[in-house]
Amino acid sequence: MPKGARDMQVNASPAVAANAEGDEIEVLESTDVLPAAPEDQWKSLFDKYDPENSGFISTERFRDLLATHGSELDPHKLEVLLALADGNADGKICYQDFVNLMSTKRSNSFRRAILQGGRQLKGKALRDEVGLGLSQRLVRHVAYETLPREVDRKWYFDSYTYCPPPWLILAITIAEVAVFMYYGLQLDRWVLQVSSPSFLRSPLPYHPLLRAQAWRYLSYVFMHAGIEHLGLNMAMQLLVGVPLEMVHGAVRIGLVYVCGVLAGSLAVSVADMTAPVVGSSGGVYALVSAHLANVVMNWSGMKCQFKLFRMAMALVCMSVEFGRAVWLRFYPPAFPPCPNPSFVAHLGGVAVGLTLGVVVLHNYEQRLQEQSLFWIFLSVYTLFVFCGVFWNIFAYSLLDVKLPPAP
């Protein structure tokens, strides 16, 4: 490849030879490269190892380059790059390959290339490393809690910087506690607040007669039936949601959480048409069910301690909370004919977690738009939302549903 042609390929969508069958590796574009230098310096560095201007450097020269500049790389990233170089079937790397291999973002096929054949990481496991500070041990703990592959765990351990911190789940939890405290003081009731006649008069809960107020399909997440309801949801939300946000980021976890919340209220409006909704169970169950499904699907790779016991405890907590919701739904209401809050939102959250949530958690640091399952489940979810909206507009009048009066 001539040098001029290499220059024109800098911004092109890259492809890297991966194995003997000729598979290609699509590598994410990244501005966070090593060393942090303009593209002309990339060319100069590449030309240094390609004096013949052939457009390629051998994997042996690439390993020499890594040996020279390896001190500037995180040790685990260096290990990953060496593993990929050692597995390159062609024995050579082109200019675009060189740029992409030195970047700090990976694609799904990048990871597959490392894991194919004999491309195994030769260094010691992350768990065996000693001399780590408290924050590093926390990051390592989160890596083993959420990621099933050692290459991902090492990559995450080197990449995570606590900036930004896991703010989303903490902010939602603080808001829920603040709202609960406000209504606890206002109603002078902390257990089974829902039994107070003024509870559903808040502008936050979903009520079928007030379903035209669209914000209620999401704002109900900040209201809880009582301290027992808030406590269980908050525990699961923090213990599962915060580590997931540390690994996958606020955008992805927020997507799963909000989709679970909206699916919960819409599911209630379809399956339990006369009942109100309160609580964050839709979002919480979306996160927890997605995480548990990811653990089961990658059981052999998950190295968290006591994983069977902890999974059993998570299922017990979910069952207790769901059982409490079912009991409350059929408990005689405090102000008939308005029934108690529905439990169907839990099921809506689980459905989101087992579909859209699993895809999000399974693709750590990979572009979701490249995953066909993501688009399939997102399309199904979008169709469900549209059907739920039309149901709320037309079904109540067509079925002549007798709704309870507004609180």
In this structure, are 248 and 356 located in the same domain? yes
- Which residue segment(s) compose the domain that 275 sits in? 167-399
Residue 139 resides in a domain = no
Is residue 28 domain-resident? no
Give the total number of structural domains in the chain: 2
219 and 82: one domain?
no
* Token pair listed for 23: 């598979």
Same domain, 367 and 275: yes
> Cα separations (Å) of 289 from 110, 212, 257?
28, 30, 11
pTM of the model: 0.74
Q: Are residues 88 and 189 in the same domain?
A: no
Q: Which of 281, 291, 342, 362 is catalytic?
A: 281
Residue that is last in its domain, among 116, 138, 158: 116
pLDDT of the chain, 407 residues: tens digit per residue: 444 444 433 333 333 333 333 333 333 333 333 444 445 566 677 777 777 777 777 777 777 777 776 656 656 566 666 665 555 556 666 666 666 555 544 444 444 444 443 334 545 677 777 788 898 899 998 988 888 888 778 878 877 888 889 999 999 999 999 999 999 998 888 888 887 778 888 899 999 999 999 999 999 999 999 898 999 999 999 999 999 999 999 999 999 999 999 999 999 999 999 999 999 999 999 999 999 998 888 887 888 777 888 888 989 999 999 999 999 999 888 767 778 899 999 999 999 999 999 988 887 766 777 788 889 999 999 999 999 999 999 999 899 888 888 76
Secondary structure of 233-257 as H, E, C letters = HHHHHHHHHHHHHHHHHHHHHHHHH
Q: Which of 207, 224, 346, 362 is the catalytic position? A: 346
Cβ–Cβ < 8 Å for 289, 366 = no
- Alpha-carbon gap, residue 284 to 222, rounded angstroms: 12
Verify whether residue 207 is a known catalytic residue. no
Based on the residue annotation, tell me whether 346 is a catalytic residue of this protein: yes
**Would residue 162 count as lying in a domain?**
no
Same domain, yes or no: 106 and 182: no
